[in-house]
Amino acid sequence: MEVMIVMSNKQIWSRWYEKDKEVLALVTSLKRMNQWQVEAYAKVIIHQTSEMQLKNKESFMLQHGSDKHLSLLKSMGRKRWYDKNKYAYRGFNALYLMDDHARREIATLLNDSTALLHTYMGRCESYGLEPNGVVFEQLLLMWVTESEQDAYDYVDKLEVEGRLTVLPSAT
């Protein structure tokens, strides 16, 4: 649900992630997911924000004033839904610190990847297997670092090899 107050034709958003429809869609989607799904996405958010910060360190450091860091200190009360999970807490705070463009880029990429989640869960279900969050995290990381097609090809490979819920490094 999008919450916004309109005053004098100016939009005032009640939360930082409501300023952009892609970011809001990602947060809304994550809020509906279970624990292992949220953790997988949060870990990939942490990875992506770290990569972006390394590539553009000066710009990242210059654009964040004390207001954002003060806001993070206030978040230590852990009252928000994503504060309860250590990965989601770190992931959302990392996303919060990104500039609007970078935040939108990450959100758009991850919003598109929900089809991969449904494919993976469907394949596991068809074999009567419990999906493995760490395996899905690997698939999601492949999606963002390599390509969508590589991730789907890897799901196919895992299915053929009977390893849908087995960590790739465990074999």
Residue 96: closest CA among 88, 11, 108, 154:
88
| Angstrom distances, CA of residue 170 to CA of 24, 163, 165, 167 | 36, 10, 11, 5
Residue 119: closest CA among 140, 134, 141:
140
Rounded Cα distance, 167 and 138, in Å? 9
Going residue by residue through the chain (171 aa), what tens digit of pLDDT does each one get? 445 545 445 556 678 889 999 999 999 999 999 999 999 999 999 999 999 888 776 555 445 554 555 555 555 666 777 888 889 999 998 898 888 899 999 999 999 999 999 999 999 999 999 999 999 999 999 999 999 999 999 999 999 999 999 976 644
Residue 13: φ, ψ to 5°? -90, 145
Residue 161 parent element (H or E): none
The pTM of the full predicted model, rounded to 2 decimals, is 0.80
Rounded Cα distance, 17 and 107, in Å? 10
Report domain extents, the chain.
21-163
Rounded Cα distance, 17 and 23, in Å? 6
